[in-house]
Structure 1
Amino acid sequence: MGKRLIVLLGPTGVGKTDLSIEIARHFQTSVISCDSRQIYREMRIGTAIPAAEQLAAVPHFFIHTLSVKDYFNSWQFEQQALEKIRELHHTAEVVLMAGGSMMYIDAVCKGIDDIPSIDPDLRMQLMERMEKEGLETIRSLLRKLDPVFYEQVDLNNAKRVLHAVEVCMMAGKPYSALRTNNPKEREFDILKIGLNREKSELYDRINKRVDRMLEEGLEEEAHLLYPLRHLNPLNTVGYKEFFEYFDGQIDYPEAIRLIKRNSRRYAKKQLSWFRRDPDIHWFHPDDKEGIFRLMEEGRI
């Protein structure tokens, strides 16, 4: 039987973590986290990392391995995750990847176009310029260097805008000209399992999860990270709303309302992204019988 990667995906709050532990135990394998925020060690409560007993139950990778001060993107995740998958496949036929970061999942499953390595000095120069002059300066650079990608990118996503400018300057050509969007072949089979719930059920879980985060000390965690609020990893739901509260822009009840609303909106965005992929098999998280039947059939 060939090597296989099972990808367990779905919106925030749907219940991926508990099921990922069961699946990993069933196949006696490890979990590769594909969460673009759980990778940062300073962000614990606001990213809902697995509990200590869950992390101890099966080996986990890419959780709390970086600092928010470290630069990291989906291309780097692709390279490092593929290396780890190859390593794990030496001793396990099945490897599990679980999470909801759309770009990270696509990076591993489909690949990212080959792009030039970025000179660290150039990266530092651009980041310093962005900190001093603001994101609008980097947007203007992108509009000049690659007007096509400028019209496509989320201009509020500082990391993506900055990365596109880096690539343009390193390659001497537009970033859009280097993007072929052709899926890359992998040396293992991929089975994608998507989890979803009725909207009212999912939104209720999201609201209650925010309440738990508040009880666990989300406000205190955000306060500790407030001096680093300019860093891109902290442009994240749960933190950016508290930063606005600390700045006096909104009051506490409004901050909580926005955290819940923006978490629900992010879940909706995730589902819209995932639904474009016909290879995803969708299940309610409680349908464990159907999920495990599919995984076992996939071994034939």
Structure 2
Amino acid sequence: MSLLPPAIFLMGPTASGKTGLAVELVQSLPLEIISVDSALVYQDMDIGTAKPEADVLALAPHHLINLIPPTEVYSAAQFRQDALRLMAEITARGKIPLLVGGTMLYFKALQQGLGDLPQADAEVRAALDAEAAAIGWPAMHARLAGIDPDTAARLQPTDAQRIQRALEVHALTGETMTALFARQSEQQLPYRLLKLALQPSDRAVLHARIAERFVLMQQQGLLAEVQALVEKYPQLHAETTAMRCVGYRQTLDYMAGKINAEEWGEQGIAATRQLAKRQLTWLRGMEDTLVLDCLAPDLHARAGEQVRTFLAA
């Protein structure tokens, strides 16, 4: 292992302070940031994704943001391919890849590889969307539970994107995602890893941060951003993958008059809390992580010390 080049994972739930910590680490260490965030890949989606602002990106450039328009789809397999290429390029430059984000499936795909999953099929997805429109996603989740109980147990009954994908995989292959992942070959990541996991010592404080941040997004112009998106990309709708990002679906509902202003805020905050809960569940299941309290006043000093010790080993 000591002969492998180093790489660092900086993981954590939304609003845990990952970006601020990463930017500070880059200022004092030979690191380059690779974003591990399925929302930051989209162009023109800045406020609702909490994308780093231009001055931050000038100080600490991020790879793998602003890659595609919100009408397209970016898969975990594509992320793995892009991340491996960038990691090799960064290492060749004599620097260390710092992979930062909260999309835990991307971290898992990068470290462990992916099963041989089929490409998305527009016809199958359209049929599943039509069925969901008729009976609702909780009923689709119940259907998935009858086919693939292990996958269904990991998903919320309202997690339309992942429920759809699991049903799509079964429809296309006749096999469950659980079975396909069980057969996947171990694809060893050729790096010596330090995996830092930011977790809150007090979940209520994280919830307060989430609420404050969503209100700030509203004040910064989230509504105007989504209005501009649907004008620029008329094909966007609530079930488009990009619009399933937390905050965007709720803003579309508000624009459509399905919810009022108060409900817009409440539902946006609730959806973000649910996202944080899922991220923390993923983190608890990851092996060999070094947990740091994201609320600790000396977080940056502790993280810097751990990184320096790792790099000196």
**TM-score, normalization by structure 2:** 0.83
Deviations 1:200-227 (A, max 9, x none): 3322222221122112100111223455
2:202 is the alignment partner of 1:204: no
Counterparts of 1:26-65 in structure 2, within 5 Å, are: 26-65=28-67
Partner of 1:185: 188
Q: What residue ranges of structure 1 are gaps of 5+ in the alignment?
A: none
Q: Distance in 1 between matches of 2:149 and 2:9?
A: 32
Q: Distance in 1 between matches of 2:194 and 2:124?
A: 39
Deviations 1:215-249 (A, max 9, x none): 21001112234551330221122112122222222
CA contact (8 A) 1:9 1:195 kept: yes
Tell me which moved more, 16-25 or 147-156.
Answer: 147-156
Which of the residues 273, 283, 289 maps onto 2:282? 273
Q: What SS class does the counterpart of residue 194 from structure 1 fall into? A: strand
Q: Distance in 1 between matches of 2:149 and 2:85?
A: 33
2:111 is the alignment partner of 1:109: yes
Identity of matched residues, %: 27
The code of the aligned residue for 2:203 comes to K
Partner of 1:9: 11
Q: Distance in 2 between matches of 1:3 and 1:230?
A: 41
CA contact (8 A) 2:10 2:18 kept: yes
Partner of 2:125: 127
Partner of 2:301: 289
Q: What SS class does the counterpart of residue 50 from structure 1 fall into? A: coil
Deviations 1:88-113 (A, max 9, x none): 21113411000111111211122222
2:218 is the alignment partner of 1:214: yes
| Structure 1 residues 176 and 137, CA gap change in structure 2 (3 angstroms) | farther
Superposition CA RMSD, Å: 2.9
Tell me which moved more, 222-231 or 236-245.
Answer: 222-231
What count of residue pairs does the alignment treat as equivalent?
296
Tell me which moved more, 28-37 or 222-231.
Answer: 222-231
The code of the aligned residue for 2:196 comes to I
Partner of 1:264: 273
CA contact (8 A) 1:7 1:192 kept: yes
Deviations 1:14-57 (A, max 9, x none): 11111111222322331110111111113110000011011111
Deviations 1:55-82 (A, max 9, x none): 1113311111012211222222122211
After TM superposition, give the deviation of residue 129 of structure 1 in Å. Answer: 3.3
CA contact (8 A) 2:36 2:101 kept: yes
**TM-score, normalization by structure 1:** 0.86
The code of the aligned residue for 1:59 comes to P
CA contact (8 A) 1:149 1:175 kept: no
Q: Distance in 2 between matches of 1:162 and 1:265?
A: 19
After TM superposition, give the deviation of residue 133 of structure 1 in Å. Answer: 4.9
